[in-house]
Structure 1
Amino acid sequence: MDEEVVPRDSFLRRLEQRHGLSALVALATFAALLVGVLAAVPDWRDMLTGDDTPAAPAPVRTISAVPVPSASLGPGLEAIDLVVRDPAPDGDPADVDTTFSPPAVEITVHNRNARRTVVTRVVVTVEDSAVMKQCASQGGPVGVSATYDVTLPLRPATGTEVRVPVSQQQGSDEADRFALRLGTPARESPTMLHLYRLRFELEADGDTTRLPAGTAVVAVPMAPSDGDGYFWSEMYDSGEINVDDVPDRDRILACMKDNSATLVRLLADGAELSPDFTAIKPVLRL
């Protein structure tokens, strides 16, 4: 007997012949279509509730690699010059009793603002300091006043700040030059020298931003002179000045060479020097 071949759709036809099944299939088909429509419309809930307000977009984070600069960049001043002045004799330089004017630092500023600017403070910071004794006496002491407009501590710690009240006004696009005279309290000895490497900054118009004005080396009451027994220099190295027969030679040489090392440290590059210190720097020997 030949095997009966059943058509592939015979099962579906039998289902269709059952009572009520055609309506079930139609309902299932409609449900499938409805699910597809709802999936294609993300805000279907709003459509059903009648809310026409569009959904808010997801927040977007913007990451910037370059920081946004502040609107204020300080008082709008520019420090354009810093000059160190050596002490000058008030009388005859040959007179041992002649007093000297104090060393001074002059600062020139330019106002780049469109309005008037007032410099209210000069902040003087001690970057380094030293006390230098005369190792071998070469003459009488030089008298000098004990205090000046700016009084520096005799032995300040590194980082010590001295705030100097000033009142310097500059109109728009104007330049101004002012000076600070530097001194100390009464020193231990008239021949004792106090050396300072100082950083100068300006404050203006109540702004907390400080304007750098430069670094300078000063000495009170004055810079040591070559050949005066303060430091070891080329003239001693070359034999121009012979110290072989001086009393207490070893102590004096050690003292002078120690002072030379101190000067090399203080006069390092990066600071403005007065004419006296400029002349000293190349002749120093250790």
Structure 2
Amino acid sequence: MSLDKLEQVDVNVDPGEDEPSHTVREDVATVDILLHNSGGTPALVTEVSFTFVRAEAMRECVGLGGPVLVSALYDIQVPADVSAAPFTRSEKITFSVNPNEYDRLAITVGPENIPETALPYLYSIDVALITSGNNEPIDAGRVAIATPISHVDSAIINGQRALGLERTDVDGGPLCVRENFERLQTALDSSEKRSPELLRLHDRYTVLNSFISDRDSDTGPLGNLDWTSPALADPNCSELGLDPRSGPTVYADLTNDGVKDALVTFSCETSTGGYPEYVQLFDGASPTGRPRALADLPLDPSKV
């Protein structure tokens, strides 16, 4: 089975509030099954069965949207309420594979009637096929997917915005982001066949989760940096032919974004000791290993 192929289906968008609904075409998650008929007569697939071993929606940690509802014409339509998992959804089909040939059967799958701003659903699915004249299902394996594809970017934005919240209760903020990461990890661990969208979400939420762990520490995400390294040290020292030295460093959320920043005192080492040059403020929300300087604060040495 492959999960890399996309199919386009009609998606109905209902804005509500007396506005007319309309239909658009969107790429949707597709389970692509490679079939091989090694026999001497045509093989007829009459039914495809999806057993949802695990199904859950990512939590919305920050409110993003309005009342717009979307519904897509998936081959396998899954109820928005997935609390009953495990459950099975089947579709009667007629798909013939000629003798001694290969063919591909593409089945689209996704939730029905969900808000336009809803975050993706995470499915772990056991796929089986029923063929004509054979009462025993053919096990095609297990897949793990995130769908709808069009909602993946919203999930990433939702997680990023949630980390700016002051709240840490179960309804939002970092704990909600961490719960979504754990749901993604569980989906990823359920199968070796994973959709590109699931992998992308997991990668991004892995970063967000590590960001939370760093932020929860005493020093925040910048605490492990060597402030005397050539890439970070006071450039005035090298201009003077002196060795850089970092003095007292304070880690605190000075930019009010929920992440601890670094306030670093830089000195230049001389034969008689060091003297302060200035304090520099670094943004705790900078990319890993590349702290962004926000401000230089000159110091009066007599007041240090």
Specify whether residues 99 and 116 from structure 1 end up closer, same or farther in structure 2 by C-alpha distance, changes over 3 A only.
closer
Query: What is residue 158 of structure 2 aligned with on the other side?
Result: 229
For residues 179 and 212 of structure 1, what CA distance do their matches in structure 2 show? Answer: 16
Paired residue for 1:161, among 88, 95, 102?
Answer: 88
Deviations 1:214-242 (A, max 9, x none): 22222332263474124xxxxx7xxxx89
Kindly indicate whether residue 98 of structure 2 is the aligned counterpart of residue 171 of structure 1: yes
Q: CA deviation at 1:159?
A: 3.0
Pairwise mapping of residues 145-160 of structure 1 onto structure 2 (< 5 A)? 145-156=71-82, 157-160=84-87
Pairwise mapping of residues 1-286 of structure 1 onto structure 2 (< 5 A)? 81-85=1-5, 100-137=26-63, 144-156=70-82, 157-187=84-114, 190-222=117-149, 224-225=152-153, 227-230=156-159, 243-244=163-164, 246-248=165-167, 250=169, 251-268=172-189, 270-285=191-206, 286=209
Question: Structure 1 or 2: larger strand share?
Answer: 2
SS at 2:26 equivalent: coil
* 1:281 aligned partner, one-letter code: H
* 2:135 aligned partner, one-letter code: T
- Unaligned regions of 5+ residues in structure 2, if any? 11-22, 210-304
Q: CA deviation at 1:178?
A: 1.8
Q: Identify which of structures 1 and 2 has the higher relative contact order when contacts are C-alpha pairs closer than 8 Å and 6+ apart.
A: 1
Contact 2:40-2:99 within 8 A present in 1 as well = yes
TM-score of the two chains, using structure 2 as the length reference = 0.53
For residues 102 and 213 of structure 1, what CA distance do their matches in structure 2 show? Answer: 20
Q: CA deviation at 1:247?
A: 5.0
Specify whether residues 202 and 190 from structure 1 end up closer, same or farther in structure 2 by C-alpha distance, changes over 3 A only.
same
SS at 2:142 equivalent: strand
Aligned length: 191
SS at 1:278 equivalent: helix
For residues 214 and 142 of structure 1, what CA distance do their matches in structure 2 show? Answer: 35
Q: CA deviation at 1:137?
A: 4.9
Contact 2:35-2:104 within 8 A present in 1 as well = yes
SS at 1:197 equivalent: strand
RMSD: 3.3
For residues 109 and 176 of structure 1, what CA distance do their matches in structure 2 show? Answer: 5
Contact 1:264-1:284 within 8 A present in 2 as well = no
For residues 178 and 58 of structure 2, what CA distance do their matches in structure 1 show? Answer: 12
Contact 2:6-2:29 within 8 A present in 1 as well = yes
For residues 68 and 157 of structure 2, what CA distance do their matches in structure 1 show? Answer: 13
Contact 1:86-1:275 within 8 A present in 2 as well = no
Q: CA deviation at 1:162?
A: 1.0
Deviations 1:180-238 (A, max 9, x none): 111322125632432211111111113112112122222332263474124xxxxx7xx
For residues 188 and 138 of structure 1, what CA distance do their matches in structure 2 show? Answer: 11
Percent of residue pairs bearing the same amino acid type: 22
SS at 2:126 equivalent: strand
Specify whether residues 205 and 171 from structure 1 end up closer, same or farther in structure 2 by C-alpha distance, changes over 3 A only.
same
Contact 1:84-1:216 within 8 A present in 2 as well = no
Deviations 1:134-189 (A, max 9, x none): 21256889974344222112233233111111111112111111211113221256
Specify whether residues 243 and 123 from structure 1 end up closer, same or farther in structure 2 by C-alpha distance, changes over 3 A only.
closer
Contact 2:44-2:95 within 8 A present in 1 as well = yes
SS at 1:108 equivalent: strand
Q: CA deviation at 1:87?
A: 7.4
* 1:279 aligned partner, one-letter code: R
Q: CA deviation at 1:108?
A: 1.1
